[in-house]
Amino acid sequence: MRKAELLMAIAMACLSVYFMWKSAELPIGWIPDEGPGGGAWPFWLSVIMLGCCGVTIYRWFRKTGPIASSGQVYMEPKVIVDVGLVAASLVVTVAAFYIIGVYGALPLFMIFYLKIIGNHSWRLTALVSVLVPVATFMFFEVALKITLPKGYTEPAFYPIYRLLL
């Protein structure tokens, strides 16, 4: 566990520095008569995240805290297989976005994740597999006016657009 904590703290620290660098391309300070610049929130949040990583690394070297002083195995082999299965299914889902669209890929992922991996009931699986894409559509397409990829299913959405938009 100690190695995993250190590696994660270093990776997150590197990510923090990258986020700070990218967000500094926009103003990060206060703009008179406007408020905070466009990069202020991500920059200062990344500074806080970098500080937390520094504390974690410091505690790792001092071996203070339950994780920093633990000698336990981070992940059992079965857990690694489960995490790999979920990661692979997410990659397939994202790849399917451009073929069958977000609203076709999301229900398939939810069915796989809830029924196959989670062994949940068909009732819960069906409910979530229908509600998640509908809520996603309403949030992105209707409320935010952000079009998500629909792939070959796009013509099926024309009547819905005429009705809602």
| pLDDT tens-digit series, residues 36-83 | 888 999 999 999 999 999 999 999 998 888 777 777 777 788 888 888
One domain, residues 84 and 41: no
- 139 and 91: one domain? yes
Buried b / exposed e over 47-85, threshold 16 CB at 10 Å, is: bebbeebeebbebbeeeeeeebeeeeeeeeeeeeeeeee
Q: Is residue 71 part of a domain?
A: no
Residues 138 and 100 in one domain: yes
Asked if residue 91 is part of any domain, the answer here is yes
Looking at 13, 30, 62, the residue that finishes a domain is: 62
**Could you tell me if 48 and 91 lie in one domain?**
no
Residues 108 and 160 in one domain: yes
- Residue 96 sits in the same domain as residue 146: yes
Q: Tell me which residue range forms the domain holding 52.
A: 2-62
Per-residue confidence (pLDDT) for residue 35, from 0 to 100: 84
Please write the tens of the pLDDT for every residue from 71-121.
777 778 888 888 899 999 999 999 999 999 999 999 999 999 999 999 999
13 and 42 within one domain:
yes
- 70 within some domain: no
Same domain, 87 and 159: yes
pTM above 0.85, yes or no: no
Q: Where are the beta strands (DSSP E) in 10-147?
A: 30-31, 35-36
User: Quick one: 23 and 93 in the same domain?
Assistant: no
Strand, helix or coil at 118? coil
Query: Which of 17, 18, 19, 20 has the alpha carbon at shortest distance from 54?
Result: 17
> Does residue 67 lie in a domain region?
no
- What per-residue confidence (pLDDT) applies to 88? 96
Q: What is the pLDDT, as a whole number, of residue 78?
A: 83
Is 72 domain-assigned? no
Please check whether residue 69 lies inside any domain of the structure: no
Number of separate domains in the chain: 2
- Please indicate, yes or no, whether residues 54 and 97 belong to a single structural domain of this protein: no
CB 37 within 8 A of CB 29: yes
Q: What does the CA dihedral 96, 99, 103, 108 come to, rounded to 10 degrees? A: -40
Q: How far is residue 32's CA from residue 66's CA, in Å, rounded to a whole number?
A: 46
What pLDDT, on a 0 to 100 scale, did the predictor assign at position 77? 81
